[in-house]
């Protein structure tokens, strides 16, 4: 009997459905590549160099492409992440010293499924397990920063090198910032109740014993949840990107925020802080900005600032971090991101 014949029918059916879905996805992606050229230029006879046409084309093509990318990335990453859990991360990080602990924590931050609403219980849980504050912060920084959506979209738009650079830079910022904050002796700036709360009861691992079907189900639900949450931001981001693509002069940003401008990166990072947007909403905007001359380093810094230093997350962290630590957090992480921006403007220029 072949392997397929030996599988129980329901598993076989699920693999067939998955393969079918993957095939549909590939087909849709391929069709999107040429459909809009044919439709706008041939069918409707619009002029490709026309501003309106360019904008429309960008909008239609990008919406479908980004939508498909998001579905693919979120699904695959969620299923893969379901094999890891925050409880296991905590067990693995417990008692680790700073330095190595920061590196491990940052790595775990990337692969562990983590909802930011769990930031407070997770923080308390880590501290109770003997994870140093700095190491915990490395985890909390890396998790939103090395956002799989951002990485996937960067990969689509700019290639694997840029995506790899983003991951490496993000991990470095998380490791160094967490370590620096740890060295500052920030115990006194953590809300007391964190140390007083006893992690009682039995720690149940949130992802053990999940069947493959349940993991697939989680993947599907996560795609639906995220898309439902971000589609307005996505449309606005694509719309703005389309407008910039069609209307802004080609060297607009080189003039005002190009590599020569010393403050460009700092401004980009500062603007990123109050912008509450999922990485997906910012990406299409970012691509259009880059086309108009915004240097890559500035752009990466902006993206990092949007995802890692978001106002809602600050509000959440305020529950466990006193204002001084929160301020230090923003300052250290912000500086790290600005450094990344300048570094890559130099390297990639």
Partner 1 sequence: MIIKVLGPGCTNCKNLERVTREAVDALGLTATIEKVEDYPTIVGYGVMSTPALVLDETVVLSGRVPRPAELRELLSGHASALPS
The site for partner 1 (CB under 8 A) is made up of: 85-87, 90, 113-115, 117-118, 120-122, 124-125, 128, 193, 196-204, 206-207, 217-218, 221, 225, 319
Looking up tokens 């992440």 gives 81
Q: Which is nearer to partner 1, 50 or 213 (CB)?
A: 213
- To partner 1, the closest distance from the beta carbon of 320 in angstroms equals 8
How far is the first Cα of the chain from the last one, in angstroms, to the nearest whole number?
Answer: 58
CB of 39 to partner 1, least distance (A): 37
Minimum CB distance to partner 1, residue 9 (Å): 19
Cβ proximity to partner 1, 221 vs 251, nearer residue = 221
Alpha helices, H only, the chain? 3-6, 9-36, 51-81, 86-93, 100-111, 119-128, 133-145, 148-158, 160-183, 192-196, 212-247, 252-257, 264-272, 279-291, 296-308, 311-317, 323-348
Q: How far is the CB of 45 from partner 1 (least distance, A)?
A: 46
φ/ψ of residue 321, rounded to 5: -110, 130
Spell out a b/e string for 231-270, using b for 16 or more CB atoms within 10 Å of the CB, else e: bebbeebbbbbbbbbbeeeeebbbeebbbebeebbbebbe
Q: Which two tokens stand for residue 214?
A: 């349940």
> Whole-number minimum distance, CB 201 to partner 1, in Å?
4
Tokens of 227: 């898309």
Q: Which is nearer to partner 1, 45 or 200 (CB)?
A: 200
Nearest-approach distance from CB 259 to partner 1, in angstroms: 41
Return the number of the residue (126 or 342) whose C-beta is nearest partner 1. Answer: 126
CB 241 within 8 A of CB 284: yes
Identify which of residues 122 and 321 has a Cβ nearer to partner 1 in the complex.
Answer: 122
- The residue (of 50 and 221) whose beta carbon lies closer to partner 1 is 221
């Amino acid at each position: 009997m072949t392997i397929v014949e030996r599988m129980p029918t329901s598993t076989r059916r699920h693999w067939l459905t998955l393969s079918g879905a993957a095939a549909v996805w590939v087909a849709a992606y391929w069709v999107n590549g040429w459909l809009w050229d044919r439709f706008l230029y041939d069918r409707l006879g619009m002029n490709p160099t026309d501003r309106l046409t360019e904008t429309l084309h960008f909008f239609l093509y990008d919406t479908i492409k980004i939508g498909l990318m998001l579905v693919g990335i979120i699904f695959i990453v969620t299923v893969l992440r379901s094999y890891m859990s925050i409880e296991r991360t905590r067990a693995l990080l417990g008692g680790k010293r700073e330095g190595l602990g920061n590196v491990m924590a940052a790595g775990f931050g990337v692969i562990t499924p983590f909802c930011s609403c769990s930031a407070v219980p997770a923080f308390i849980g880590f501290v109770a397990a003997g994870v140093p504050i700095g190491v915990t912060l490395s985890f909390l920084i890396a998790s939103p920063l090395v956002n799989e959506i951002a990485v996937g979209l960067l990969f689509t738009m700019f290639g694997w090198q840029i995506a790899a650079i983003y991951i490496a830079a993000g991990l470095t910022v998380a490791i160094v910032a967490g370590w620096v904050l740890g060295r500052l002796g920030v115990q006194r700036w953590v809300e007391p109740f964190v140390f007083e709360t006893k992690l009682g009861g039995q720690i149940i691992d949130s992802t053990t014993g999940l069947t493959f079907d349940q993991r697939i189900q989680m993947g599907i639900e996560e795609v639906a949840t995220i898309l439902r949450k971000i589609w307005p931001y996505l449309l606005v981001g694509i719309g703005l990107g389309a407008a910039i693509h069609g209307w802004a002069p080609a060297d607009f940003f080189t003039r005002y925020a190009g590599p020569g401008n010393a403050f460009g990166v700092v401004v980009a990072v500062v603007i990123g802080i109050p912008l509450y947007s999922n990485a997906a909403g910012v990406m299409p905007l970012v691509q259009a900005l880059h086309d108009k001359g915004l240097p890559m380093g500035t752009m990466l810094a902006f993206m990092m600032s949007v995802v890692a230093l978001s106002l809602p997350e600050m509000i959440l962290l305020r529950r466990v971090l006193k204002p001084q630590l929160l301020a230090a957090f923003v300052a250290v992480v912000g500086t790290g991101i600005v450094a990344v921006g300048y570094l890559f403007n130099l390297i990639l220029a």
